[in-house]
Amino acid sequence: MLKVEDLHVAVGGKPILKGINLHIKPGETHVLFGPNGSGKSTLLGAIMGFERYQVTEGRILFKGEEITGRSVAERAKLGIGIAFQRPPVLRGVALGDLLKAVAPAPSDVGEMADPMHLASFLERDVNSGFSGGEVKRSEMLQLLAQSPNFVLLDEPESGVDLENIALIGQAVNHLLQKDGFNGEERCRREMKEGRSKAGLIITHTGYILDYVPADLGHVLYDGRLSCTGFNPRELLGCIHKYGYAGCTRCLA
Ligand SMILES: Nc1ncnc2c1ncn2[C@@H]1O[C@H](COP(=O)(O)OP(=O)(O)OP(=O)(O)O)[C@@H](O)[C@H]1O
Ligand SMILES: [Mg+2]
């Protein structure tokens, strides 16, 4: 579904990503770890096509089509969606109106907001005055309305209380067609049954993995994916034990 080939990205003229290779197949959920400032959000921003991330080498393919150089709107229409690490406030845009603009069936917007505990937020400007956790739920609600085929989630559980992480987890599972997840075995079985949606999730703590089953993990270090293709929980254990640099050396 998503192929990133030898991707080099600069931000403000400074090289951040130095040759990223990544292949995410339909139905797969990948997890991205890495220290602060290593370029995780840069990678997501480059995949989504934000202009501040300048692709200097390499290419990005989505469903076999090259999308490097395409606009954010085109990528969104192709089925890529993103939940930001630090979502912007949209003054003058009510959350309900934004949801109606992106949802295939605008009449369902109220029903969608209810499970995310945001039904009373629909008249408010997007993210304006929302608490940290409310902003994260608002991001998930916007994605649920958009229903993309491929989701980029930048620290979806950061700043979210323990009970609401479960809610975020349910939303992510719905987005990734993993509803009713009940253990790894079911996850693997479902994969064989033709799940089509896929995603890439950034997490530092791994709390989201308590709720969302994921297939493969990667560590972004020094501008490259230094160890890729391991079980995300195994990787998290290595990072805890050896630190990012040690983990990268050890698994290499
Ligand atoms: N305009 C700029 N000029 C120079 N460096 C920049 C600019 N914008 C961003 N950077 C740098 O790019 C690097 C990568 O940032 P990015 O947000 O991708 O990191 P991250 O891995 O998501 O970190 P975190 O875990 O803290 O969210 C950072 O060191 C950041 O300071
Ligand atoms: Mg980041």
Residues forming a β-bridge with 53: 11
Beta strands across the sheet bearing 29-33: 80-83, 150-154, 198-202, 29-33, 216-221, 224-230
CATH for the 2-251 domain, from 3.90.180.10, 3.40.190.10, 3.40.50.2300, 3.40.50.300: 3.40.50.300
Tell whether pTM > 0.85: yes
Q: How far apart are CA 222 and CA 240, in angstroms?
A: 18
Ligand 1, pocket-test mutation among 14, 53, 85, 219, most atoms within 8 A of CB: 14
Pocket of ligand 1 (CB under 6 A): 11-12, 14, 16, 34, 36-42, 85
Q: Please name the residue that has the structure tokens 């480059």.
A: 46
Ligand 1, pocket-test mutation among 8, 32, 38, 52, most atoms within 8 A of CB: 38
Domain extents for the chain? 2-251
Per-residue confidence in pLDDT tens, the chain, 252 aa: 999 999 999 999 999 999 999 999 999 999 999 999 999 999 999 999 999 999 999 999 999 999 999 999 999 999 999 999 999 999 999 999 999 999 887 777 888 899 999 999 999 999 999 999 999 999 999 999 999 999 999 999 999 999 999 999 999 999 999 986 554 544 555 555 678 999 999 999 999 999 999 999 999 999 999 888 789 999 999 999 989 988 777 655
Ligand nearest the Cα atom of residue 17: 1
Buried b (16+ CB within 10 A) or exposed e, 192-201: eeebebbbbb
